[in-house]
Structure 1
Amino acid sequence: MPGIDRAARYTRRRLYGLALISALAVAGVANHELHWGQKTTSQAAARQHAATRAISLQDYEVVIDAKPIPGAAELSGITYDFDRDRLLAISNDGPAEVVALSRNGDVLERYRLEGFDDTEAIAYMGNGRIAITNETLQRLNFVDIPAQSGTIAAKGSPFLTLGLNMHRGNKGFEGLAYDAAGDRVFIAKERDPRQLFEVDGVAASLGGRLQLALQDHTDWIDREVSTGDLADVCFDPKTGHLVLLSEESKELVELDGDGRFVSSRPLSGRRSGLAHDAPSPEGVTMDAAGNIYIVSEPNLFYMLRKKS
């Protein structure tokens, strides 16, 4: 019934708000002004810089197919460092590290992770700052990456924990993306249930002025995405669209800024253009030129380019 549906939605929003307040208290960011609800100004700014054209995943062809990354184990995420025009891949096993790569998949630097656990996703935020997820705790740690190979420590770093639909299994925060112009973080929860969250005002809050707003876009996933899970998400600043990656379905899915389906592309079968199916695709990102990069466990690197 309509009244019951509205009550259920209201109750869920209250629960999400309470969960985020608790998380922020743990992070030690109390006594600041917190603005809830839809941040129309940041969304408008994000959409102003977005072009009207789509990414059109079906138009991409394979350029690099399953290139092994030496010394890497269990690659679980990848992001584009737009300040240094390079890629940053993260692994969660043997040992956990961030590996800096050229856009051709060559190793440039290695950064050992200290004090992190179950690192599944990474997002570059600008000015040397990255966000790293802990899947089990559903936590985001915000740290600075060294200028050269070295250690990245979790101890003492700012963090945000969102205890929403916590799951005892390995089914928590699996994907992460950042929209620099809109100062928005997108977080993908793997499954049971599949969920997509948006947190606005992250960089501004880390700068000392807390103005976080949490939005639940799970309805986008329920309505438009039929994949078995969500392994990662990336944001394309040129279009304002999202690209979602499914490890189980071995598929990329494009959604527009309002969560509507736009295009998709398989990473398995004859239509994929790959010599062999991507065994376990876990991370996806895009560079400034619109090229798409994917990492698959254990240590495979892929590059897709739009056909000219």
Structure 2
Amino acid sequence: MGAALLLIVLVLAYTASSRYFIHQQIYAQLRTAWAGDTAPGQNIWLPDYKVVIDGKVVESTLRNLSGITYDYDQNRLLAITNNTPMELLVLSKAGDIVSRYPLQGFKDTEGLAYLGHGRVVVADEDLQRLNVVTLPKEVRPIKADDTQFISLAINLTNTNKGFEGVTYDAEHDRLFAIKERDPRQLFEVTGMINSIGAPLKIKVADLTSWVDRSVFARDLSDGYYDAATGHMLILSDQSKSITELDQDGNFVSTRSLRGGISDMKQSAPQAEGMTMDSDGNLYVVSEPNLFYQFKKQ
């Protein structure tokens, strides 16, 4: 027992100063296991989530399934692809395609977040643009020219490392835009939705410090804001992990998406999208066409 404790102390001491994310991830896993859930009912607490749908193929011909969100008005999932054909998909909670909206005039649709009242925001990675889309009542193409948008042309890159994810806090009208890497960044855009058809009152804040100190991952592929706790989940494709942050951006918990060291049979090959539903179930989609559901035990 003493030797095990000494080993943990040595690992923690080493990882505290390490610049390598793999060591920091080990530190995060140990920290989560060691501390436990110190505020039950106030945290999402990722270690309690177990996989129940493990890498279901949504459709064999589907490519680049890159984002997912929960439509709480109609109790359904919405997903997005960023390859030909570029589409917004309506999914069941079991990961089956119910209907599909072709997307026209968009460039690189990566992230998706539901705003309420039939509206979604689509993150276009190349343009670093957040497009507000009102979903048609009938299934038909959605055109980029019909959307309203805000573009955050900050740290532009030619290496496809722009906005990868987006999530929305409806109570405070806050959009969180997530830049993948080089550098990893997190922005908070407040007032955008309430300014549509009203006096313009938009504030943009850089919350990258949250990521720098609390997310031990090589890249950021999506986020989810949980209204019940006020906490945020951050998804990483390359590090195959999900990290929970509190209201101030402090580390709370983590779970792995790697097969063998988690309850998943195989690692999620390229996890790009994440959301939760009103029952607290967690959903992840991975390129090219895989669907995961996690339930809290």
Does the TM-score normalized on the shorter chain lie above 0.5?
yes
Correspondence 1:38-49 to 2 at 5 A: none
- How far apart are the structure 2 equivalents of 1:182 and 1:82? 17
SS of the residue 1:123 aligns to: strand
Instruction: Return the offset for 1:52.
Output: 6.3
Runs of 4+ residues over 4 Å off in structure 1: none
2:264 aligned partner: 274
Contact 1:109 1:148 in 2 (8 A): no
Instruction: Return the offset for 1:192.
Output: 0.6
Q: Does 1:203 align with 2:209?
A: no
SS of the residue 1:205 aligns to: coil
Range that drifts further, 220-229 or 206-215: 206-215
Correspondence 1:116-265 to 2 at 5 A: 116-265=106-255
2:53 aligned partner: 64
Q: Deviations over 1:49-91 (max 9, x none)?
A: xx96100001100010111112532101101111101111100
Contact 2:258 2:267 in 1 (8 A): yes
Specify the code of the residue in structure 2 equivalent to 1:54. N
1:53 aligned partner: 42
Q: Deviations over 1:177-236 (max 9, x none)?
A: 011111110011000100000001121111322111111110011111110000000111
- How far apart are the structure 1 equivalents of 2:257 and 2:113? 22
The normalised TM-score by structure 2 is 0.84
The alignment-based identity, stated in percent, is 51
RMSD of equivalent CA atoms: 1.2
Unaligned runs of 5+ in 1: 1-50
- How far apart are the structure 2 equivalents of 1:108 and 1:181? 29
- How far apart are the structure 1 equivalents of 2:139 and 2:287? 23
- How far apart are the structure 2 equivalents of 1:94 and 1:74? 9
Change (3 A) 1:79 1:121: same
- How far apart are the structure 2 equivalents of 1:89 and 1:256? 26
Count how many residue pairs are aligned between Structure 1 and Structure 2.
257
1:289 aligned partner: 279
SS of the residue 1:136 aligns to: coil
SS of the residue 2:146 aligns to: coil
SS of the residue 2:193 aligns to: helix
SS of the residue 1:203 aligns to: coil
Unaligned runs of 5+ in 2: 1-39
Q: Deviations over 1:88-143 (max 9, x none)?
A: 11000120001101111111110000111111111110111111111011011111
2:18 aligned partner: none
